Amino acid sequence: MLRKHRQIQTQLQKLVDASIFGIAFYIAYFWRTHWKLEIFGGSANIGAFAPYVWMLLIIIPIVPLVLEFQGYYNRKLISSRQRVLWVLCKSCLIVTLAIILTVFLFRIKEQKQSRSVIILFGFVSLTLMLLKEEGTRALVRYKVIRRQPKRLILAGLKKDTAKLREDLGSHDWSGVEIVMEIDLNETSVEQMVEFIHEHSVNGVVLNANHTVMSQLEKVVQACELEGVETWLIADFFRTQISRTSIDDFYGKPVLVFRSGPDASWQGIAKQIMDRVGALVLVLFLSPLLLFCAVAIRLGSRGPVLFCQRRSGLNGEPFIMYKFRSMVTDAEQRKHEFAALNEMSGPVFKLTNDPRVTPVGRWLRRSSLDELPQLFNVLKGDMSLVGPRPLPVEEVKKFGDFAHRRRLSVKPGLTCLWQVSGRNNINDFGEWVKLDLEYIDNWSLWLDCKILWRTIPVVLLAKGAR
């Protein structure tokens, strides 16, 4: 994992941990108040929560500092339970003692009433942190099972890539999957590009200790067109400058050539917005989803959903869901209408497609056929905003490899193409140009603007057919 990704992950983890300790304090207060859990035999009623808010002003800032001092954020993502338990016990004890010391030094009037709350807080915070740790373990294992690690190709000389793989082998649960190793003296750039397509690669790690720079330049240029990150292992630098390089790969300085959006807090916020937004829309639109499903079943024979393999992030195939708007044998009959295709390039578009059912025509005009893709967003295959996902077979037909850069971000429910005329744009090159414009200028604010512009487009059926 790159240092920048680790830093973002650590900052997010600190925010979560501080929140957990804050919640633990309120739970301790709640138990003391409503369950009368008085440890020292004091008053049964301790009053409102307001007088204890000042304790949160101590807890929330010092929790990340204490955990970092105890080495909690420097450990492997999955460490031994005994080590984690010991670190958390010490950290919870230190935070609890800090509150007690503050009460004692400043002789706070609520001292007698709050002692039990403070002690309960220590036990509750430890319990919640251990539960969070177990949840993290389960999530990491789930991601490994789902095959979600970053897929990389190691490129360089055999001895260099073998040494790098050996170094990576010492990092458990690293979130990295080496799909293959390439000797640049035996493999052409064209062959490497084919491997990138075949394995839906997320990045190429170049170990350049003894390779020719002109050859590396060709590899970087090919990956740039593909929208695939290129990581150049730069440990051939022998000065202090190499330590201040763009990033580091498990301690090895690397130069990262990236033609897609960089990892950032905005990226994390986008993921949160995707999941929360999709969940809210599914719950809010559930009656409409049910109505569409019933209309499809009554309108024609066949399944309610149309499932198709589409190309996702870096070309990785996934199953995309749509409400079925065509007859059941539409895919088999596609070749009959190939000559009528209105879209240039590999994409097939036909205005008055005879395969579309009457109900399907209404669904398409209102864009309701796209609603099941909210479940793709919940699964993490898609985003609310991003280039529209194309069928795997159409992606394979790309005549210009530069078009594959649209695969460098997650596909989305809506995009600039959707809000710029949709089917009125019949040139695939213009479509891709809009997608690349989105990628090059991406920001969370741009996503919000596209979502806002999508509302009238859908309601007025602009460009939909």
CATH C-level class of 150-257: alpha beta
Predicted confidence at residue 211, as pLDDT, reads: 52
CB 170 within 8 A of CB 118: no
Beta-carbon count within 10 A of 418 CB: 24
Can you tell me the distance from the alpha carbon of 18 to that of 12, in angstroms, rounded to the nearest whole number? 10
The pTM assigned to this predicted structure is 0.62
Which residues on neighbouring strands pair with residue 318, listed in sequence order?
A: 310
Can you tell me the distance from the alpha carbon of 319 to that of 59, in angstroms, rounded to the nearest whole number? 45
Can you tell me the distance from the alpha carbon of 247 to that of 170, in angstroms, rounded to the nearest whole number? 20
Predicted confidence at residue 213, as pLDDT, reads: 63
Q: Please, which residues have CB within 8 angstroms of residue 61's CB and are 6 or more apart in sequence? A: 18
Q: b or e along 119-134 (b: 16 or more beta carbons within 10 Å of the residue's beta carbon)?
A: bbbbebbbebbbeebe
CB 332 within 8 A of CB 413: no
Q: Please, which residues have CB within 8 angstroms of residue 195's CB and are 6 or more apart in sequence? A: 153, 179, 180, 182, 201
What is the chain's percent helix, strand, coil content, to nearest 5? Answer: 55, 10, 30
Predicted confidence at residue 77, as pLDDT, reads: 64
Q: b or e along 260-270 (b: 16 or more beta carbons within 10 Å of the residue's beta carbon)?
A: bbebeebbeeb
User: 100: part of which helix (H) or strand (E)?
Assistant: helix 81-106
The rounded average pLDDT for each run of 10 residues, N- to C-terminus, in the chain (465 residues) is 70 89 89 68 60 80 88 76 89 89 67 68 91 85 65 83 72 69 85 87 76 70 81 56 50 70 79 92 93 91 91 91 88 77 75 85 88 94 93 85 85 86 70 88 89 83 59
Predicted confidence at residue 225, as pLDDT, reads: 81
Q: Which amino acid belongs to residue 405?
A: R
Structure tokens at 192: 């490497």
Domain-by-domain residue ranges, the chain? 3-145, 150-257, 265-459
